[in-house]
A = this chain, B = another copy of it.
Amino acid sequence: MLREEGLIYTVQGEGTFVAAPDSAPREPRKLPMYRKIAEDIVQEIRSGDLQPRRPVPSETALVQRYEVARETVRRAIGRLRDQGWVYTVPQRGTFVSAEDKWPED
């Protein structure tokens, strides 16, 4: 029933975790597909393959490219939207944000 409540901490954009007593660095766990897709798209934006105000590939296109379910693509896009990389216009598409909206990181 959550007895060690003081040991909980949150990493923005990562989730909430229970602190390890020695803060042992966890090994990099396998990257979920929706994160890989998101990171790939960030790469394409950073490299200029995807340009500001131009559309990101549609959900359908990404579903086919990665051979994943649509929900997985939607989660990746949602992540990018939260971080400011892209913006979505309902029923129109998702577009690369202006460069000043990109996260510093």
Q: A residues near B, CB below 8 A? A: 2, 5, 8, 10, 15-18, 53, 55, 71, 82, 87-90, 92-93, 95
Instruction: Say whether, besides A2-B95, A92-B2, A16 and B53 are in contact (CB < 8 Å).
Output: no
Task: List residues of chain B with CB within 8 A of the CB of A89.
Answer: 2, 8, 16-18
22 example contacts (A-B, Cβ-Cβ < 8 A) are as follows A2-B53, A2-B55, A2-B89, A2-B92, A2-B93, A2-B95, A5-B53, A8-B87, A8-B89, A10-B87, A15-B88, A15-B90, A16-B87, A16-B88, A16-B89, A16-B90, A17-B89, A17-B90, A18-B89, A18-B92, A71-B71, A82-B82
Copies of this chain:
2
Given contacts A2-B55, A2-B92, A2-B93, 11 further A-B contacts (CB under 8 A): A2-B53, A2-B95, A5-B53, A8-B87, A8-B89, A10-B87, A16-B88, A16-B89, A17-B89, A18-B89, A82-B82
